[in-house]
Structure 1
Amino acid sequence: MHAPPATEIATLISTGLAVVDPSLAVRWLNPAMGEWLGVGTRSALGQRLDAFVREPALAQLAERAMAERQVLQLRGAHVVLARGRPVTADIALQPLAEGTVLIEVHPLIGDIAEPTPLSATLRGFAHEVKNPLAGLRGAAQLLQRRVAEADLKNLASLVIAEADRLSALADRLLRHGGVARVAPVNIHELLERLEVLVTSEPSSPRIRHDYDPSLPDSSGDSDRLLQVLLNLARNAVEAGATTLIFRTRVEHGVRLGEPHARSALRIDVIDDGRGVPDALRDNLFQPLVSGRPEGTGLGLALSREIAREHGGELRFASEPGDTVFSLFLPMEKPHG
């Protein structure tokens, strides 16, 4: 089977790539393309690409790219994938040796009825973050193979797992619909995972726990919820915190948006840092608002969007030396 140059790198990157012959028969594809098409990389070999993606212009463009020996692009193409799933993508076709064509796909966000201010920002963010994450993951894999010390292998495994989690998170946030993967979540196990991540970083703070051991499992997307809590913990460290307290409680009669929740799970991240500057308090959760010159201002905006996606809310109370960010998650379906 034909494979493009630097196959190992092409396999790792998050951009969907496939090599096809003049009849559109698949000669090679990377895992990202297989995921986008909804097909296994091995089972797709030898099959026509238009069996997985319906786009009438694709075959004609592939022929033109080979005949004219130039890169052709199909921008904002509305195509239909397996099981009738409609998507929008930019598609590039580049002629290769041996009469084959490299097809490159960049999925775009679908039309959203009521886009949030954050959604437009995240569209560009997806393309910026995913390929560096793939490179980071590849480097960690090489390190894991070459080191002998168990501690270093464990750290490399942690980097790989986080790169996978963030890549999947970016995919789910930026694809059309962006539907959360809801499942039972043990919030204390999630906080233990958070502690491992926070204490693995340079200048890690001391972690203390104040848990309510009677809490039942919550319901939500564990990766997205972990991202919220990780954003809160890292913000605290960047604000000079030396101690973080992870606290869990049940709160009754909480207002989450318009409806009330009879009871809600409250997860507090408490720190002893400098606190939220007065000038930022009213707009802290808006996109591109940051208290640091090098900050992107996306972390808290994204965190609140994830909280609300779960039917919850993100709030804070802050003064120097005592800042509390609270994530509220309904323990049952809210009612009016």
Structure 2
Amino acid sequence: MATGVAWLDAALRLTSANPAFAEHTGFGQSRLKGQTLEALAPDGKHLHELALRARNEGSATTLRDAALCAMPGHETRLDFTLTPHADGVLVEVHPAAATAGTTRVSESLRGFAHEIRNPLAAISGAAQLLEQHAGDARQRELTQLIRDEAARLATLTERLLGKRSMMATRAVNVHAVLERVAELLGAEHPGTTIVRDYDPSLPAWHGDPDRLVQALLNLARNAVEANAKRLILRSRAEAGWRDTHGQRVPALRIEVEDDGDGVPAAIAATLFEPMVSGRADGTGLGLSLAREIAREHGGELTHQARTRGACFVLLLPRNHRAREEPA
């Protein structure tokens, strides 16, 4: 189902909404136009407060599992993302994600994972043979890179197919993760300029480093596929981010900014939906999976429009602890 999108003006009153917004919430545009989010009972007051914070603080915020009741006896649970822009606040809404104990990826992602499992095994085996006959240290380094990436993708595939019980979380240096992404992208696209803009004072983050590599690599590869010649990998502390409960928590902010073609306006509202791509040969899975990884860590992934290129912002609570998922 498409992402529901609504636009709030500077006074935080709804000016327009797409059909998916009405479908998700049960409130039609004519019923909401000119009103604030407080009209979305019973959690509307909280939504309006978050919209106010997003506008005043200039940072995106989310509310998970919000209760809405457009008519008596018909309550629905939804996830909201509120992102400030020049003229007010953009509101995105999706059906509430399942809890960590019941989360399952879409059938399209499961089908994709099933299809790539055997080719990954073949790639890993071929790389092992190549390594045995490598003529110098650089060749051995590259074959090991192929094997490491095949192993990481195989682990990710098993997770998509429901074979993994929990995330492998630990204390992670996010700059080591970013350097891994830079190394992989440099091997794939040596002509791409990668600029590091790191905050060296950032503390360790608690999460699954393999999944974070996958999310960031998806963003970086998308940029290159959109004709980017220069990428900026940026890290910052985010003191003012509010989590899904509206509480202020310490977070890490990671940005992937590029000078490519940007996001086509036609898909901006559904950018993170599975199977949505701006390229004819695109799978439409990279951004969907990247946002899923952000959310399973209690974070969020958003897109910030640029006059040239694109900027994706990954916000991760510093001390999130994932719950175990059943096999």
* Structure with higher RCO (Cα < 8 A, 6+ apart): 2
Q: Distance between the aligned counterparts of 1:203 and 1:154, measured in 2?
A: 16
Q: Is the 8 A contact 1:315 1:327 kept in 2?
A: yes
* Equivalent position of 1:147 in the other structure: 134
Seen in structure 2, the aligned counterparts of structure 1 residues 136 and 330 have a Cα distance that, compared at 3 Å, is same
TM-aligned CA deviation for residue 328 of structure 1: 0.5
TM-aligned CA deviation for residue 122 of structure 1: 2.3
* Equivalent position of 1:179 in the other structure: 166
Q: Is the 8 A contact 1:240 1:273 kept in 2?
A: yes
Task: Please say which structure displays the higher CA radius of gyration.
Answer: 1
What is the CA RMSD across the aligned residues, in angstroms? 2.3
For 2:124, the aligned partner's letter is R
For 2:166, the aligned partner's letter is V
TM-aligned CA deviation for residue 181 of structure 1: 1.4
* Equivalent position of 1:271 in the other structure: 258
Aligned residues: 224
* Equivalent position of 1:108 in the other structure: none
TM-aligned CA deviation for residue 178 of structure 1: 5.0
1:102-141 residue CA offsets vs partner (Å, 9 max, x unmatched): xxxxxxxxx9999778422222122201110010111111
Q: Distance between the aligned counterparts of 1:189 and 1:146, measured in 2?
A: 30
The TM-score normalised by the length of structure 2 is: 0.64
Seen in structure 2, the aligned counterparts of structure 1 residues 161 and 117 have a Cα distance that, compared at 3 Å, is closer
Q: Distance between the aligned counterparts of 2:252 and 2:100, measured in 1?
A: 30
Where do 4+ consecutive residues of structure 1 move more than 6 Å? Answer: 111-117
Q: Which SS does the other structure have where 1:270 is aligned?
A: strand
Q: Distance between the aligned counterparts of 2:140 and 2:294, measured in 1?
A: 34
The TM-score normalised by the length of structure 1 is: 0.63
- Which residues of structure 1 form unaligned runs of 5+? 1-110
1:229-275 residue CA offsets vs partner (Å, 9 max, x unmatched): 00000000011111111110011221333433422100011111111
Seen in structure 2, the aligned counterparts of structure 1 residues 296 and 115 have a Cα distance that, compared at 3 Å, is farther
For 2:290, the aligned partner's letter is S
Identity %: 50
Counterparts of residues 126-205 of structure 1 (less than 5 Å): 126-175=113-162, 178-202=165-189, 204-205=191-192
Seen in structure 2, the aligned counterparts of structure 1 residues 232 and 178 have a Cα distance that, compared at 3 Å, is farther
Q: Pick from 222, 234, 238: which aligns with 2:209?
A: 222
Q: Which SS does the other structure have where 2:106 is aligned?
A: helix
Q: Is the 8 A contact 2:205 2:319 kept in 1?
A: no
* Equivalent position of 1:282 in the other structure: 269
1:41-86 residue CA offsets vs partner (Å, 9 max, x unmatched): xxxxxxxxxxxxxxxxxxxxxxxxxxxxxxxxxxxxxxxxxxxxxx
Q: Which SS does the other structure have where 1:244 is aligned?
A: strand
